[in-house]
Amino acid sequence: MPAQKIKALVLDWAGTTVDFGSVAPARTMQRVFASHHIELTEAEARQHMGLPKKDHIREILSIPRIREIWRTDFKVVPGEKDVEALYAEFIPLQFSCLMDYSAVLEGVSEAVEGFRTRGLKIGSTTGYTREMLDMLLESSAKEGYVPDCSVTPGEVGAGRPHPYMIYECAIRLQVYPTAAIAKVGDTPADVREGLNAGAWSIGVAGTGNRVGLTRDEFSALPDSQRKLLLERARNELREAGAHYVIDDLSELNTLLDAIDARLEATGTEAHLHA
């Protein structure tokens, strides 16, 4: 069945709707590895952001520099036992850090109301566990942001870049085809999740992982540095395959008008050649 317009959005959390700069997961990863005398660079902590957190830890341990430090310090190549042990340390640290960076981003609640006014349903996916996401749902509701459904990797067997969380959102929201869904997120993993689901995939550059700063830190930068960070973030998301890239959710309504126009003109195949 061809899609004639966008019917639903599936929004990411950290870096897209809450936690400007996706700071909470990056800082927690750095703290976990620092407890083992490994100082992760900002790039190392953020390279695989958007994945389920156990997968994220596994990918960090596969970085050659980190792998060599681990082998030298612990006389063993890091394996699954180490992944499990680090993940067990990560969980309580993430809970303690999460609420420090849980604020809903400026303009998100108003943007979501605008999306609902145009008849869209709102789903969400994440790399967090259900327990972590429930904390975010409770705090975000107090600030006026409540998605219609939320899905975590543990509920569908695998997280990003697999499409299963989006499929589950489609089931819960009763929306089809997936070409009538737009996935919106700030990491390459978000982009690939949308592409793998056959949905429109929209990257968010200005509030997300590649910027990697709090709003105050970002605002304090000289204009030239802000522009450089933004362009790098946009390029990363384009290279991941995003159909479109925006700086924040305030730009999405106008973009949806353009996507709807393309779908009305050409049907489902419009996004295959976007």
Extended strands (E) in the chain: 8-11, 121-125, 149-151, 181-185, 200-204, 244-246
Residue 144 near residue 104, CB atoms below 8 Å: yes
- Candidates 127, 120, 142, 136; CA nearest to 90 is 127
Say which residues have a Cβ less than 8 Å from residue 38's Cβ, sequence separation at least 6.
66, 69, 70, 73
Question: Of 7, 53, 54, 183, which one is the catalytic site residue?
Answer: 53
**Distance linking the first and last C-alpha atoms of the chain:** 19
Closest CA to 203 of 243, 261, 161: 243
Q: Record the tokens describing residue 248, joined without a space.
A: 């924040």
Catalytic residue chosen out of the listed positions 7, 12, 19, 54 = 12
Told to judge if 148 belongs to the known catalytic residues of this protein, a careful annotator would answer: no
Taking the C-alpha atoms of residue 171 and residue 158, their distance in angstroms, rounded to an integer, is: 16
53 counts as catalytic: yes
**Catalytic residue numbers, as ranges:** 12, 53
